[in-house]
Amino acid sequence: MLDGFIKVAAATPEIRVADCEYNADKIIALIAEAKMQSVKLLVLPELCVTGYCCHDLFYQPALLNGALEQLSRIVKSTEGMDMLIAVGCPLVFDGELYNCAVIIQNGNVLGVIPKKYLPNYNEFYEARQFTGAVDGEFNMRLFSKNVPFGLNLLFECSELPELTFAAEICEDLWSPAPPSIGLALGGATVIANLSASNETIGKEAYRNALITGQSARLICGYIFASAGEGESTQDLVFGGHRMIAENGTALADSGLYTTGLTISEIDVQRLTTERRRNTSFKCSEEPKTRRISFSMKPERTVLTRNVEAMPFVPQSSSEKDKRCSDILKMQAHGLAARIRHTHCKTLVIGISGGLDSCLALLVSIEAMKLLERPASDIIAVTMPCFGTTKRTKSNAETLCQILGTTLRVIDISDSVRQHFKDIAHDENDHNVTYENGQARERTQVLMDIANEENGLVIGTGDLSELALGWATYNGDHMSMYGVNASVPKTLVRHIVYYYARTVSAPALRDVLTDIFNTPVSPELLPAKDGEISQITEDLVGPYELHDFFLYNGIRWGFPPKKVYRLAQYALGQNYDAGTILKWLKTFYRRFFAQQFKRSCLPDGVKVGSVSLSPRGDWRMPSDASSAIWLKQIDEL
C-alpha cells in the first residue's frame, strides 16, 4: 500500500456445479493462498459458490440454502485478514433472487452488489432465474446483520483513500452503460468484474480489448475473474480467463484454461493523479454513491508488475520499430506544415556529427520528400571549433553529402577568439563563458544564413536536454522550429539506429551507425589526442536514468521517494542505489533551476505523452522552489 501500490489478484477456483461445500473448500484454499502471497484485494468469479451453470436448479431451496451456508463458512475463514474479497453467490432479497458480488473482509460482509444487466439471448437466459438490480439504497439481512445492498456501493480504505473499490458483474461490462462508469465518476479507482464468460472463437481478444479499454476510459484499475474448470460443458466451455488492467495497460493475463491466482499490483496513486490532470474526467451530475469504509494495514507492497527501465522505448523489436517510424512521420509532417506556412526557401540546420542534429537532418529530409522538394534546399552547416574531433566532423560532412544537402563548412574559431578578445576573456580559461561563446556563435551563424537564404533554422535539442536545461540559453536553446523538442534522448538513439537499419544505401547505413556509436558530447572543450574529451553523461548523469526520472517524476507526478524506489526496481541491475540517488538529486535540482529556458522555447512538434512546451503540457514558474523535492531526496 505504501507509494500507492495495492497487490491484487483475480482467482478462478476449480468447482463442481451445485456442490457448494466443495466449491467453498476451493475458494477458501485460494483465499489462503492469496494471503500467503500478500494479496490485499481478491476477486473471484460470478456465482462461484454454486457454479454459474446451475440453471433451473437455482429455483431449488436446497441449492440456495447450501450456498448461504457455505458463504457463511467463507466469510468466517477470513477472520483476522484485512484482505478485501469479492465472491460471487446467488442471494434472495425481498423475495427475489439476485446474482450477487459479496464483498468480505475480516469475517464480515461489507456489502452486496447485485448484477444489473441479465443476458437473455443466444446461450444465456439469466432472466429466467434472476432479477436485475434497480437503482436505490437498500439494506439486506445477512447472517443476522444489516448489510448494504445495491449497485452504487463504494468501499473506501481509511488508510489509503485513493483505494476505493467497486464491482460489477459480467454482462454489466458488455452493456452500453456499464455501472462502472458511474462508480468510477463517483470515486472508484479499482473496479472488479466477477464473470462467467464462456469461450467462443475470437472472444478472448474481444474481451482483452474491452477490459483494457474500460480501464483506460475510466482511468482505473480493472480486475476481471472468470469461471473456468468445473462448469458444465453441456453446451458451453469456460476458460477461466483472468486479467488485471490499469489505465489501458494489461498488467497480468492468465490466458485460457487455467485455474488459480493471477497477481499484480495496481498503482492507485498514479490513477488519482491522472484523474486530477484530466479535466474531462467528470460528469454534469454527481453520481449517487454509498461509501463504506474499511481498514487495511499500510505495508510495503512487494512489486512484481513490469516497470519499464526505458519507459519511452518499447521492449519488443516490432513495437520499437513502429514507434520510431511513427515519430519520424509526425516530426516530418509537423515540419512540412511549418515550411508550407512560412513559404521558406531553405531549411538551415547545424550539423555536429552527433545524434540530435543527425535526427533533425533526417526529419528535414523526410519533410522535403513530403513537399516533393530536393534535399539541396536544406543548408547543412558544420561549424568546427576548439572541441570538434575529426570523427564528428567527418561524419557530419559525409552524412550531408550522401543525403544530397547543400553543405557549408564554417570554422568559427577565429570568430570566437575575436569575441573573447572583445569581452576580455582569456582563451585558456575553459569556463562556461568559453563553452557558451561557441554555442552562441554557432546559433548566430545559422540565424544569419537563414536571413540571407530566406530559411528556417531547425532546432536539434531533445526533450531530455530540455528537462535538464543542458542547452546554452540563446544558443542551441534557440531555433525557429524544434523538431526534436519532445523526443527523449533514449529514443533519439533508437530512431537513428532504426533509420540506419532500414535504408538501402550501405554508405548511409555506415555513417549513421558510427554516429549512433559516438559518445554524446557538446564538444565545447578541446579534444585530447584527437578524441572527445567532454562526455555529457559523465557531467550530468546517464540519460537512461534521467529519462526514467522525467517519465515517472514529471509525467506521472510521483514524489522523489517513489521515483527512487521504482528506479531501484527497474534499473537496480545497472546502477547501485547511491548512483541512482546522486543523479536523482541532480535531475530535480537542474529541472527546477533551468525552467527559465523552457519558458521561452520555440515551437516544436509534440510526438508523445510527455512534453515540456510552455504552450502545451508543462506550465511552471521559472522561479519555483525545489526545496520540497530536494528535502525528500535528502531524507532517503
Please tell me whether residues 449 and 572 are part of one structural domain: yes
Region 63-78: mean pLDDT is 97
Query: In this structure, are residues 232 and 53 in contact, taking their beta carbons and an 8 Å threshold?
Result: yes
Domain assignment present for residue 135? The answer is: yes
Alpha-carbon torsion angle 524, 529, 530, 532, nearest 10: -40
For the segment 23-31, the average pLDDT, to the nearest whole number, is: 98
CB 356 within 8 A of CB 483: no
- The residue with cell 479507482 is 189
**What is the per-residue pLDDT for 393?**
86
Note whether 131 and 185 are same-domain residues: yes
pLDDT reported for residue 121: 87
Residues 225 and 162 in one domain: yes
In a domain, 401, yes or no: yes
Domain assignment present for residue 448? The answer is: yes
Residue 607 lies in a domain: yes
Question: 361 and 267 share a domain?
Answer: no
In this prediction, residue 575 has a pLDDT band, given cuts at 50, 70 and 90, of: very high
**CATH code (residue 342):** 3.40.50.620
- Give the β-pairing of 242-246 and 221-226: antiparallel
Q: What is the pLDDT of residue 355?
A: 92
Range of the domain at 186: 2-294
Domain's final residue, options 252, 279, 294:
294
Q: Residue 431: its pLDDT value, please? A: 92
At residue 460, the pLDDT reads: 95
Q: Residue 635: left if φ>0, alpha if ψ -120 to 50, beta else—which one?
A: alpha
> Is the domain of 256 the same as that of 321?
no
The tally of domains found in the chain comes to 2
Residue 599 maps to a domain: yes
Asked if the structure places residue 516 within a domain, the reply is yes
464 and 603 inside one domain: yes
From the centroid of its chain, how far is CA 339? Answer: 33
Residue length of the chain: 636
Q: Are residues 85 and 184 in the same domain?
A: yes
Q: Do 410 and 543 lie in a common domain?
A: yes
pLDDT of residue 282: 82
Q: Where are the alpha helices (DSSP H) in 353-389?
A: 355-370
Whether residue 274 sits in one domain with residue 323: no
* Confidence class for position 532, pLDDT limits 50, 70, 90: low
The predicted-structure confidence for 214-258, as pLDDT tens digits, reads as follows 999 999 999 999 999 899 888 899 999 999 999 999 999 999 999
With 80 as the cut, is the pLDDT of residue 534 above it? no
Instruction: Give me the mean pLDDT over the 416-445 stretch.
Output: 94
Annotate 376-404 with b (16+ C-beta within 10 A) or e (fewer): ebbbbbbbbbbbbbebbbebbbbbbebbe
Predicted local distance difference test score (pLDDT) of residue 523: 67
Phi-psi region of 447 (alpha: psi -120 to 50; beta: other; left: phi over 0): alpha
Is residue 192 helix, strand or coil? strand
What pLDDT is recorded for position 517? 86
One domain for residues 335 and 456:
yes
Instruction: Say yes or no: 332 and 276 in one domain.
Output: no
Distance CA(101)–CA(111), nearest Å, equals: 8
What is the 3 state secondary structure string of 522-579?
CCCCCCECCECCCCHHHHHCCHHHHHHHHHHHHHCCCCHHHHHHHHHHHHCCCCCHHH
Same domain, 477 and 604: yes
> What are the residue numbers of the active site?
46, 115, 170
Instruction: Give residue 233's pLDDT.
Output: 86
User: In percent, how much of the chain has pLDDT > 90?
Assistant: 88
Q: In this structure, what CATH number is given to the domain that contains residue 92?
A: 3.60.110.10
Give percent above pLDDT 70 in the chain. Answer: 99
217 found inside a domain = yes
